[in-house]
Amino acid sequence: MRRALPILAVLAVLLAAIAIANPFFLEPAGFLAFVRRAAPLVILAAGQYFVIVSGEFDLSVGSLVTVEVVVAARLIDGNEGATWPVLALLIVIGLLVGLVNGVVTTILRVPSFITTLGMMLVLSGAVFLWTGGAPRGALSETFRVFGRETGWAVLVLAVMAVAAALIMRADFGRTLVATGDNERAAALSGVRVARARTLAFVLSGLAAAVAAILLGGFAGVSAQVGQGLEFQAITAVVLGGVVLGGGRGTVIAAMAGAFTLEALFTLLNLYGISGALEFTVQGVIIIAAVAAGALRLPFLTPQRVKGDAHAAS
Amino acid sequence: MTALPGHRAGLAAIADPTRVVFVALAVVILAGWGLVALDGGQFLTLENIVGVQQRSAALGIVAVGQTLAILAGSLDLSVAYLISLTSLVAAEIMAGQDAGIVPAVAAVAGVSVLVGLVNGLVITKLRVHAFIATLGVALIIKGVVDHLYDGPAGRVPESFQHLGYDRIGPVPVSAMLWAVVALIAWFLLSRTRYGYRVYAVGGDPEVARLSGVRTDRVVIVTHVLCSLCAGIAGLLLASRLGAGAPTVGTDGGYDLESIAAVVLGGTALAGGRGGVAGTVGGVLLLAVLDSVFNQLEVNSFFKDVVRGVVIVAAVAVYARRTGMLGRRRA
Amino acid sequence: MPRHSPLVLAAVALALLAAGCTSDKPAATTASQAPDAPASSAQAAGTGAQSKFFVQADYDAQLAMRSQAPQGPADKPWEQAIAPQMVSTADHKKEGPYEICFSNAAVNNPWRQVGWKTMQAEVALHKEIAEFTALDAEGKDDKQISDIAELQAKGCDALIISPNTTATLTPAVKGACAEVPVIVFDRGVETDCPVTFIKPIGGYAFGADAAEFLVQKVPAGGKILALRISPGVDVLETRWSAAKVAFDASDLEVVGVEFTDGDAAKSKSIVSDYIQRHGKIDGVWMDSGATSVAVAEAFEDAGLPVPPMTGEDQQDFLRKWKDDGLTAIAPTYPTYQWRTPIIAALKILKGEEVPKVWNLPQPKITQENLDTYLQPNMPPLHYALCGCESLPGFPENWGGKKE
């Protein structure tokens, strides 16, 4: 928990800054609207956290979100009765994609960067091959409730967040961190490394499915719904102080990182930073945040940090 | 660990990834020739051969730079935006004047070196993971480009367009440029101490450091070279388009595509193993696939599916082979 | 290792040099923009500086065309032309059967999907087209340049080009003009070498139609939010610049001009933010309809009535409009323009005259004619003005259900 403190402090400052610029933010409705907007990214960040802490990447979540929304729209096609079976199917698709990512990465030993990059191409190609290039059909009102009604979205987020925290407190959580920290040592101490990593990908796939349900619910079908989410999720996790390469950082901090990123977007928007320069600010902040974390670490924990700088996946 | 001891003996016989990718290239050419012939077309025409080279030159040049970065255990996600930026710098400074070519090329080189230095310094001195460092730099460049430009700008003089459009026999000038870049990189990697150090740093930075390699310096120089390659690609694209364009780099997907081409060519993503020859093969393989799909008028969505599968399958094949050498990655 | 020092030093020197060079750039850009911008500054209206794409003469011409009667068959707007200047094509006349080639910028959005299906169906109508070859540039300028070169080499009888970017495709189009009759549609190019350039009236008319509606419906002093997809695309810049002219002349206040990337979630968030900040928004102007439904929902979710707004001819918006009784207008950029290039190519190859610039009519959907365009059997992202109802394969090939 102590690891999460710096990012929580940053988050608090950003939230205060938003509140100053926009007093409505302090009312429950205003704050909950912010939470709802952040919910999909927070859930994706939790999923991405499992993968990153085990020492891997998941670049496929953005296109997976798009696939889920497009599939849901085509299958539901405005028919309320189809909502629940399709929701179940979406979860299964998420789990399945995660499983394939995990198996290809661990059994076929393809670096996850490449596995999930390939998955990203396959998913986005396949879904539009199926729908003839553009989304078809429509989501039902029941489906859209989860993303559109603030109460539901916040509830879904709360359930996912608690579940993620519980998973990390369980044995599996320790296994996952051990795997990412030192694969060989973990294996020698009896951890089934391949299984732990595969499960991490499955959890990321699940998170993407849930995020897709919220995003599709929020604004309806769109071919761009998942665009760039993979980089945003990774950025959020890293902002939370989780180290790429694995083994360090907490899921709470990762989710706080997602809230921070969303707060940053909101703030830049409120203060009217020109649309384009927003990216520049974002780039500088990401580098600064990670650099601050990396440079301070040696004083806190006398560990090998040097290696991390170069450890590509 | 996950090494598969049972496969050692059999796998030793498989050729190295570089050879695999060229064999695959030959197979794809043959298959493409067959398929296109069945479709009633001709595959190995002069236009197609020129077309494949034109299509692959820009990606090829970027991928050569990316190879260096990946060999050194790093990677560069900022190349796509740097390409857009340098295409604009080039076209703006040329402004349609022949006299502008030399200053424009110098400025592009300067911008590229600067970006490469920033990448390298952030990674080594600030100890930011290459993924985040170059992603951050990419965002910074994107912000600047989008802020200053909202469409194509500048103009390239006719004389500079020879770079993008002329050819000598069946070989376009752009492909020669790519060949020169690849040869220089090959020379650096295999015939100089710098190359030796790149492999050492990519293989194991700790061991390299203990044996006296200044690892930071190697990483910085590598990123400068990688950015220079992106700058050259930016010049080439400016010459093709006749102007600079703020989206030319990202539309082409040069960041992820160059990484895909490098690993397709057998270079290990973790660094330390591979080389430029494989990358050239990887780029050509992607370009020939593209050309076959074009001839058969295959839907672009199907194309993405095939590409995704090909990239993962290729790396899986290489991974099985290198598995016997030990651990997959640090 | 001292050997590296000179290298690094040189690199630093170069970088410093570069820093010197690049710092001139912003100045250079603004300098080149300044002369294009019209003198009338309208900062007070909140609409910002006029787009550098704005050309007064084109604006005037397009606004005039809105009230001109098109020539040609009334039931086939894709064959109609407004104020055509005919050119002879006798030089291109040849015997069939023909091979027609098409270099397509992309098929990456619903508008292009509908258009592309419509064009393929049009091709199927003509037996004299023996072969139709189409290459998809996937939104990449460089690929489209290569595609055009490849198609030229194939010996096509006519080449249709839908350019990905106006400026950057110009050299390639010029090159093709020398070899084969070229037909350009949708976005233009900076050369008049194509035999004909096909387009609906254009972006100025689109933007003005939408803005004039708001000026008429929103009470004086009302707050307008303008939503644009992205900057720098000529066909979109013209839409906004015409709207800007209309808003500047009105007593409405434009409280914001935002870019949505055509993303529904982003559009909805932006509108919610503006509602929070300003209490209420009295009208929404949009440069395309892809996210109109999300915008309407943002008001609903905030518990507010949907103010007068603009959209496009996509079915999801038309349905929302009808069901919720919105006050709306939908200017269009008709997808039936994808039929015209095929018709033009055949005319050219048969030696018949074609307009140099083929201005297609550009209807707008209003409360009065909404029911004509609302097609409950078509998918939500289908564009009503496809002109494809009579084509073989309708409605299934466009994703619709038989009624």
Summarize pLDDT for B269-323 with one digit per residue, the tens: 989 999 999 999 999 999 999 888 888 888 889 999 999 999 999 999 888 776 5
User: Which pLDDT band holds residue A299 (cuts at 50, 70, 90)?
Assistant: very low
Give the CA distances from residue C40 to residues A42, C201, C254, in Å, rounded to whole numbers and listed in that order. Answer: 47, 25, 17
Helix (H, G, I), strand (E, B) or coil at A115: helix
Report d(CA A271, CA A281) in Å as an integer: 13
CB < 8 Å to B106, chain C = 17, 21
In total, how many domains does chain A have?
A: 1
| Cβ contact B246:B89 at 8 Å | no
B190: which 2 tokens? Answer: 């295999």
Cβ atoms within 10 A of the Cβ of B116, count?
30
Taking an 8 Å cut-off on Cβ atoms, the answer to whether C381 and A135 are in contact is: yes
Cβ atoms within 10 A of the Cβ of C69, count?
9
Q: Judge whether residue A286 has pLDDT over 90.
A: no
Q: Range with the lowest mean pLDDT among A77-81, A208-212, C100-104?
A: A77-81
The CATH number of the domain holding residue A99 is: 1.10.3470
| Cβ contact C152:C94 at 8 Å | no
User: Which pLDDT band holds residue C21 (cuts at 50, 70, 90)?
Assistant: very low
Report d(CA C73, CA B192) in Å as an integer: 74
In total, how many domains does chain B have?
A: 1
Average pLDDT over residues A34-47: 95
CATH topology of domain C41-69+203-332+363-395: Rossmann fold (3.40.50)
Our CA angle for A211, A214, A219, nearest 5°, is 125
Closest CA to C241 of C364, C66, C59: C59
Q: Judge whether residue A296 has pLDDT over 70.
A: no
Q: Range with the lowest mean pLDDT among A180-189, C134-143, C192-201, C229-238?
A: C229-238
User: Which pLDDT band holds residue C325 (cuts at 50, 70, 90)?
Assistant: very high
What share of chain B in percent tops pLDDT 70? Answer: 92
Closest CA to C393 of C196, C186, C124: C124
Per-residue pLDDT of chain B (330 residues; tens, 9 = 90+): 333 443 443 343 344 778 888 998 999 999 989 988 888 778 888 888 888 999 899 999 999 999 999 999 999 999 999 999 999 999 999 999 999 999 999 999 999 999 999 999 999 999 999 999 999 999 999 999 988 988 889 999 999 999 988 888 899 999 999 999 999 999 999 999 999 999 999 999 999 999 999 999 999 999 999 999 999 999 999 999 999 999 999 988 999 999 999 999 999 998 999 999 999 999 999 999 988 888 888 888 999 999 999 999 999 988 877 654 444 443
Q: φ, ψ for residue B266 (rounded to 5)?
A: 95, 0
Mean pLDDT value across chain C? 86
pLDDT digits (tens, 9 = 90+) for A3-35: 677 888 889 999 999 998 888 888 888 899 899
Q: What pLDDT is stored for residue B201 in this prediction?
A: 95
Show me where the domains of chain C are located. Answer: 41-69+203-332+363-395, 71-202+335-362
Q: Measure the N-to-C terminal CA separation of chain C; round to a whole number of Å.
A: 79
Closest CA to C265 of C236, C294, C245, C293: C294
Report d(CA A296, CA A288) in Å as an integer: 12
Report d(CA A293, CA A264) in Å as an integer: 18
Closest CA to C53 of C257, C217, C240: C240
Taking an 8 Å cut-off on Cβ atoms, the answer to whether B328 and A111 are in contact is: yes
Structural domain includes residue B115? yes
Report d(CA C156, CA C212) in Å as an integer: 45
Q: What pLDDT is stored for residue C45 in this prediction?
A: 62
Give the CA distances from residue B7 to residues A231, B20, B314, in Å, rounded to whole numbers and listed in that order. Answer: 37, 18, 18
Nearest Cβ partner for A125 among B304, B316, B329: B304
Q: What pLDDT is stored for residue A151 in this prediction?
A: 92
User: What contacts C401, CB < 8 A, 6 or more positions away?
Assistant: C377, C395
Nearest CA-CA distance, residue A191 and chain B, Å = 10
Report d(CA A145, CA A153) in Å as an integer: 8
Q: For C71-202+335-362, which CATH superfamily applies?
A: Response regulator (3.40.50.2300)
Q: What pLDDT is stored for residue B246 in this prediction?
A: 92
CB < 8 Å to A275, chain B = 146
User: Which pLDDT band holds residue C30 (cuts at 50, 70, 90)?
Assistant: very low
User: Which pLDDT band holds residue A294 (cuts at 50, 70, 90)?
Assistant: low
**Does A303 lie at the interface with B, CB-CB under 8 angstroms?**
no
User: What contacts C402, CB < 8 A, 6 or more positions away?
Assistant: C377, C395, C396
Report d(CA C202, CA C333) in Å as an integer: 8
Nearest CA-CA distance, residue A35 and chain B, Å = 25
B223: which 2 tokens? Answer: 């990123």
Q: Which amino acid is at A13?
A: V
Average pLDDT over residues C367-394: 93
What share of chain C in percent tops pLDDT 90? Answer: 66
Q: Do domains C41-69+203-332+363-395 and C71-202+335-362 have the same CATH topology?
A: yes
Average pLDDT over residues C100-115: 92
Enclosing domain of residue A82: 2-310
Report d(CA C40, CA C60) in Å as an integer: 16
Nearest CA-CA distance, residue C288 and chain B, Å = 18
Q: Judge whether residue C6 has pLDDT over 80.
A: no
**Does C8 lie at the interface with B, CB-CB under 8 angstroms?**
yes
Residue of C nearest to A216 (CA): C265
Q: Judge whether residue C43 has pLDDT over 70.
A: no
Between strands C129-136 and C98-104, the pairing is: parallel
C134 forms beta bridges with C102
Q: What pLDDT is stored for residue A251 in this prediction?
A: 95
Better-predicted residue by pLDDT, C130 or A137: C130
Between strands C86-87 and C354-355, the pairing is: antiparallel
Enclosing domain of residue B224: 19-33+42-325
Nearest Cβ partner for B137 among A120, A283, A307: A283
Q: What length is written for chain A?
A: 313
Helix H or strand E encompassing C129: strand C129-136
| Cβ contact B84:B146 at 8 Å | no
| Cβ contact B317:A110 at 8 Å | no
C227 forms beta bridges with C258, C286
